[in-house]
Structure 1
Amino acid sequence: MSKKQYGSDSLFKYMNSTYICCLTRQQTIRGSEIKDFNDPFDCTLKLDRIDLSAFEDFLKSTGTTKEEFKFRVQEAKAITFNLIEHVETGLKKEISNLFVICLTSDPYNRLMWSHYADSHKGVMVELNPRFCKTDPFEVSYTGNGYDNEANKLVSSAACDFLINPFGEADSGESDRAVIFSQRLKMLANKFIFTKHEDWKYEKELRIAFRKEEGTGEDGRYLPLGKGAVRSVTFGARMEDSRAEELKQIIHEDDPSIKIYRNTINGWDLLPVVY
């Protein structure tokens, strides 16, 4: 498979051909709700405990007496028991207000053609990342499971809160609710960019945006700059009539967009100029 067609800094979106006009004509890209992800474990949260060892180390460093240490730890456990419920509820609310665009740095992945591009009947769109108004972030992969990663994140935030419960908020307000809301947003962002290592082959990057940042009736379309689409590759199983229809639409929208069509060459997919 030739690897000269695509830009070295490009990002790619494997997709059904239905939404291609949003990209080429309206310069927008469709985001997905997390509840619609194909992995039921993706961004699913269940907290069972919070590790307070960092808070305990802090107490020891301040010369706390044994009696006070025991009292403060028991008090912290009671606080964090309620915190788990608040965090779970708060994270679900934060995540429900987001749309996510899933991209990859790999334009030659057979599995992704099968899984995301309508079994090779869809398209792969090449994007210039400089025209993405919201920066994409690489997904981190973990072998310890989603819940374990979430527990680590929440434990860190909980201990930070216990150590400095009235720390200054970004707005300058010493307010628990403001601080809690800010940290929930930070946790939600980290959580969205974490997946199980089984998905590592996707080499995924994600763009997360809030509904108010998008366009359309439900805010799920993220505006891109003109020139964001470098090329569109049609799948090897796309019907000829559909390929001709899309080619005409794309060239009418932006003649500078390159068009390729995959052909099967032995065990390889070979994108050729169409």
Structure 2
Amino acid sequence: MNPEKILLAAIQETLKPEYLKQFENIKCDEQYYYLYKHLSFDTNLYVLNLFRKLQLKFTHPDSFNDPYDCMASIEFDDIPSDFKEILQKHFSTAIRANLCVTCFNNNPLNMLMWSHYAQSHKGFLVEFKIPHPTIAWVHDAFNVQAIKYQDEFPKYPLEISNPLDMFDSANSSKMMSLVTNQYLVKSRDWLYENEFRTLAHDYDPNNFNSLGAVVDKIKFLSNLIVF
């Protein structure tokens, strides 16, 4: 067995079954999982940087077609109501300001996907193939996670009486969970999308993240375009 196969086998052994479960229904064959991205032609044709420079556009939630996307409720206990309202507003704004998203799906032929995300059927579709078992660990800077579809948006209670308490070990883990899950929960109305996301920090409106390192290291490839 060559070193690459040994590494992949080790990753497979250490991954938690409950984490891998989110990928059970992805289209796949014996070697690869397949994810899809419906794309439109922008004015400056930056979208073609995917092929020219191996770059993907990451988008801020404010630009999404669902105004409730990436929303969560943070509940602070044991602090005055006025201060609680300020904290809730600050954290919701701060979290949304600093993260951006690129989206994939597992529903390539769905008519609504082509209408909403591929310029009313005038855009194109790209298929990405990811080798087993790296779907759960593509790259340090590129981790694919499934969207959870729920009737209610997540609520996160933080037990603090002093603002500094949010940085203790118990609340820090809750904050990490909040940041991640706020971006991975959508209304059940969007269930047809069967969406997956990768998150990036330090939002920039011109944020094109390079896939070069990913492609070189684990053969993360785009291999199909449908016009």
Normalising by structure 2, report the TM-score: 0.67
Shift of 1:113: 0.7
Q: Report the CA distance shift for 1:192/1:143 in structure 2 as closer, same or farther (over 3 A).
A: same
From 151, 166, 180, the counterpart of 1:143 = 151
Shift of 1:182: 6.6
Shift of 1:93: 1.1
From 176, 190, 194, the counterpart of 2:181 = 190
User: Is structure 2 residue 21 aligned with structure 1 residue 29?
Assistant: no
User: Is structure 2 residue 191 aligned with structure 1 residue 200?
Assistant: yes
Structure 2 SS opposite 1:187: helix
- Counterpart AA for 1:140: K
The residue number in structure 2 matching 1:170 is: none
The residue number in structure 2 matching 1:176 is: 165
Q: Report the CA distance shift for 1:95/1:184 in structure 2 as closer, same or farther (over 3 A).
A: farther
The residue number in structure 2 matching 1:233 is: 225
Shift of 1:199: 0.3
Pairs aligned (count): 183
- Counterpart AA for 2:186: K
Larger helix fraction of residues: 1
Superimposed CA distance per residue, residues 4-33 of structure 1 (whole angstroms, 9 cap, x where no aligned partner): 99x861111111133442111211100111
Give the gaps of 5 or more residues in structure 1.
53-75, 167-174, 236-274
From 222, 243, 254, the counterpart of 2:209 = 222
Conservation of the 8 A alpha-carbon contact between 2:114 and 2:120? yes
Structure 2 SS opposite 1:198: helix
Q: For residues 186 and 4 of structure 1, what CA distance do their matches in structure 2 show?
A: 29
The residue number in structure 2 matching 1:93 is: 94
Q: Report the CA distance shift for 1:82/1:181 in structure 2 as closer, same or farther (over 3 A).
A: farther
Counterparts of 1:1-274 in structure 2, within 5 Å, are: 9-17=33-41, 18-44=45-71, 50=75, 76=78, 78-79=79-80, 82-129=83-130, 130=134, 133-144=141-152, 146=153, 149=154, 152-153=155-156, 155=157, 158-159=158-159, 161=160, 176=165, 178-179=167-168, 183-211=174-202, 218=205, 220-224=207-211, 225-226=214-215, 227-235=219-227
Of structures 1 and 2, the larger Rg is shown by: 1
Larger strand fraction of residues: 2
Q: For residues 28 and 220 of structure 2, what CA distance do their matches in structure 1 show?
A: 19
Conservation of the 8 A alpha-carbon contact between 1:10 and 1:105? yes
Normalising by structure 1, report the TM-score: 0.57
Shift of 1:222: 1.6
